[in-house]
Amino acid sequence: MGMSRLHLLLLAYYRILVACPFLPVTFQWSPEPLSQFLSLPGLDMGVRWLTVRCYALHTRMSEAQRDTLQLSHLGPVGQTEVLVQNGRAPDGEFQWLDGWLLPALEVMRIRDARQAMLDKDDFYDVNEIALSSRIDIDKLRYV
């Protein structure tokens, strides 16, 4: 499996765990696949960062324990560059985020998406309502 695919899968799993932290316990998912990623050689720093975060969320690790795990696999915070792929731009280029800033960027992404839903003027399409609200008087006579 390519690094690009690992980035996207782990990022999706990270987002799921942030949104629903109880899922691994509810469905009794094993943390073993994530722990195996931690010991694999040749993974880039973005995959390692995502794996540490996912493992910590999956096992409901405390922040202090997560920081210890992160220190052992990534080094001190901010000293190494951690790039996480966030998909592709319309022109096909990869989009990258700074992994150290990802939690804050995710909060901003969710906030902006929620605000965009609130800013929408009409939930219903005005043209659709106008067409569906017309009543055929001739048909009502036979009811």
Number of domains present in the structure of the chain: 1
Q: What gap in Å lies between CA 42 and CA 37, rounded to an integer?
A: 10
Give the model confidence (pLDDT) of 38-54 as tens digits: 888 888 999 999 999 99
Residue 138 has pLDDT above 80, yes or no: no
Q: Please, which residues have CB within 8 angstroms of residue 82's CB and are 6 or more apart in sequence? A: 45, 46, 48, 49, 74, 98, 99, 100
Which pLDDT tens digit goes with each residue over 91-124? 988 899 999 999 999 999 999 988 888 887 665 5
Across 55-59, 91-95, 127-131, which has the greatest mean pLDDT? 55-59
What is the average pLDDT across 18-31? Answer: 94
Domain with 64 in it: 3-140
DSSP H helical ranges for the chain: 3-19, 23-26, 32-39, 45-58, 63-74, 102-119, 126-132, 137-140
| Least confident interval from 5-19, 54-68, 124-138 | 124-138
Looking at residue 42, its pLDDT comes to 87
